[in-house]
Chains A and B, each alone.
Chain A
Amino acid sequence: MDLLAQQLINGLFIGSVYGLFAVGYTLVFGVLDILNLAHAAVFTLGGLLAVWLVEAAGLSLWLAFPVSVFCCGLLGLLLDRVAFAPLRQRADSNFSGLISSIAMAIIFESAALGLFGARTVRFPAHTISVHIWRWGGISITSLQVEIVAVAILLMVALTQFLNRARVGKAIRAVAENDRTARLLGIHVDGIIAFTFFISSALGGAAGILFGLYFDSLSPDMGRSIELKGLAVIILGGMGSIPGAILGGLAFGLSEVLTVALTGTSNLRDAVAFTVLFTVLILRPAGLLGRKKMREA
């Protein structure tokens, strides 16, 4: 029983990081109907840059985190300018954008290799003081609590921003109909660039939290989360922010539960994706996706 409770808690922790990663993914998709496949590479760079800032530049983690997140936001602006904006006028921009985002992912990954080397790194042990709480057989570390708190805080902040702030509403307006948004006086290109900034910043934040959680970062760490991130946003409903949060938690939980119930990690991915397919059979638009699947 304790083992199950422990796994549920672990699932919540890792699920919140999946959710944070997926929220950035789905934000760009919601606005542009384009998958930004460089998102996982930004995730990697965010994590590695934060380690570098702590290790080589001597910053505290609480400073390295926002600095790295901001730099990832700038990478998002670069992505928009280089990979997406030039293709926006093309009739096939969804597809060509997908391809050019893969190209940017490869460039980012090479940059990660060149800058940080092909090695596995971790945050120095003294970076963060870890306290461990125990109740019976359950243990939770203060680091885990901080990770989930930061992830949830960022997701709540994003949701509030989109629902309440003037620019947040403009992002939703562009997501709904960019032609109409233009007629309303919204500077659509600026809003898109800003969306990329937020999306990539959140992706970088997820990379740092992921690296802290597993205590290991490497230039190929994006690989393991890339497909999961896609699965999470499909699970949650493409373009839906709450869906991505919920999908991330569901995905994290189903992973750790599989490990707990089968006793091995062999089936972990298989079961998680089975959950995905099952949900999609029952609800083709995803957990919180819009009912209407396609424009007529």
Chain B
Amino acid sequence: MLDVVDLTVAYGPMEAVRDVSFQVREGAIVTLIGPNGAGKTTILNTLSGVVPVRSGRILLDGRDITGMSAHRRVSEGVIQVPEGRQVLAGMTVRENLEMGGYRRPSREAQRDVARMEERFPILGERRNMAAGSLSGGEQQMLAIARGLMARPRLLLLDEPSLGLAPLMVKAVFEIIRQVHDEGLTVLLVEQNAHLALATSTHAYVIESGKIVLDGPADVLRSDPSVISTYLGQTV
């Protein structure tokens, strides 16, 4: 579904991502793991079209979307749930969901708002509260629900478990598994490598803007260098 070819991204003179190539097959959950500052968020942002590419190509279903504007990519079904949730804090929970469906016909979107409020009862209960008043876990639920409102084909999740209590982390991964079972393709960036590898089908390890290792998730899980660097504390 997604083919990234020789992607290089730079902020000014500094290259944050260098010659990165990877694929996400239809129906897969692919994880990017790597240390802070490796360039994971940068990759997701170039896929979303909010950070420009220096060189390389991004293909969606074989079609080149490298130069496509961000809002058209959303229409194409490439949706990012950003790092740090980024709910629209001053708007209500309901309005956040509505904005998630911004590019869809409003009657359809309204129906999906009701569906999301059913799926995430807490969001239904809090629908008229400011999104900023939700707890961190609730905000993450809202961010994911808001992403699903766009009816994604490819969901980009940037560190969805960051800063959450263990129970909430479990809930978030449960949702990821569910939406995957419903047919969604997922590209996941995670610090929690243990859970991420257990959940995904394929993984790439990225360090200092380069892919240093990749393979099926269960193979990487038993790779000595991955164990020592990323699974050390959690195994």
Q: Which residues of A line the B interface, CB within 8 A?
A: 166, 169-170, 172-173, 176-177, 179-187, 290
23 residue pairs of the A-B complex, CB under 8 angstroms, read A166-B98, A166-B102, A169-B91, A170-B99, A172-B90, A172-B95, A176-B88, A176-B89, A176-B91, A177-B86, A179-B86, A180-B82, A180-B88, A182-B49, A182-B50, A183-B48, A184-B100, A184-B146, A185-B71, A185-B75, A185-B103, A186-B99, A186-B102
**B22-69 contacts to A (CB < 8 Å):** 48-50, 69
Are A185's CB and B70's CB within 8 A? yes
Most B CB contacts (10 A, CB to CB) among A176, A186, A290 go to A176
B192 to chain A, nearest CB (A): 22
- Tell me the bound Cα distance from A102 to B77 in angstroms: 42
Known: A176-B88, A177-B88. 8 other contacts (CB 8 A): A170-B99, A172-B90, A179-B50, A182-B49, A184-B150, A185-B74, A185-B75, A186-B99
Contacts of B146 on A, CB cut-off 8 Å? 184
Tell me if B229 is interfacial: C-beta within 8 Å of chain A.
no
Are B74's CB and A173's CB within 8 A? no
- Tell me the bound Cα distance from A172 to B10 in angstroms: 31
A187 to chain B, nearest CB (A): 5
**B179-226 contacts to A (CB < 8 Å):** none
- Tell me the bound Cα distance from A181 to B48 in angstroms: 12
Contacts of B90 on A, CB cut-off 8 Å? 172, 176, 290
A66 to chain B, nearest CB (A): 27
- Tell me the bound Cα distance from A278 to B196 in angstroms: 56
Are A183's CB and B70's CB within 8 A? yes
A289 to chain B, nearest CB (A): 12
Are B74's CB and A184's CB within 8 A? yes
Are A169's CB and B80's CB within 8 A? no
- Tell me the bound Cα distance from A149 to B49 in angstroms: 45
Q: Which residues of B line the A interface, CB within 8 A?
A: 48-50, 69-71, 73-75, 79-80, 82, 86, 88-91, 95, 98-100, 102-103, 106, 146, 150
- Tell me the bound Cα distance from A186 to B101 in angstroms: 10
- Tell me the bound Cα distance from A183 to B103 in angstroms: 11
Residue of A nearest to B86 (CB): A180
**Known: A170-B102, A177-B86. Contact between A185 and B150, CB under 8 A?**
yes
Contacts of A172 on B, CB cut-off 8 Å? 88, 90-91, 95
B58 to chain A, nearest CB (A): 16
Are B91's CB and A183's CB within 8 A? no
Residue of B nearest to A187 (CB): B71
Contacts of B82 on A, CB cut-off 8 Å? 179-180, 183
- Tell me the bound Cα distance from A180 to B87 in angstroms: 8
Are B99's CB and A184's CB within 8 A? yes
Residue of B nearest to A176 (CB): B88
Are A184's CB and B102's CB within 8 A? yes
- Tell me the bound Cα distance from A181 to B96 in angstroms: 10
Are A182's CB and B91's CB within 8 A? no
Contacts of A186 on B, CB cut-off 8 Å? 71, 99, 102
B43 to chain A, nearest CB (A): 14
Are B91's CB and A173's CB within 8 A? yes
A7 to chain B, nearest CB (A): 37
Contacts of A182 on B, CB cut-off 8 Å? 48-50, 70-71
B128 to chain A, nearest CB (A): 12
Pairs A-B, 10 closest by C-beta atoms: A185-B74, A185-B103, A180-B86, A182-B70, A187-B71, A185-B71, A176-B88, A183-B80, A185-B102, A184-B99
- Tell me the bound Cα distance from A181 to B86 in angstroms: 10
A228 to chain B, nearest CB (A): 27
- Tell me the bound Cα distance from A172 to B89 in angstroms: 11
- Tell me the bound Cα distance from A179 to B80 in angstroms: 11
- Tell me the bound Cα distance from A166 to B75 in angstroms: 16
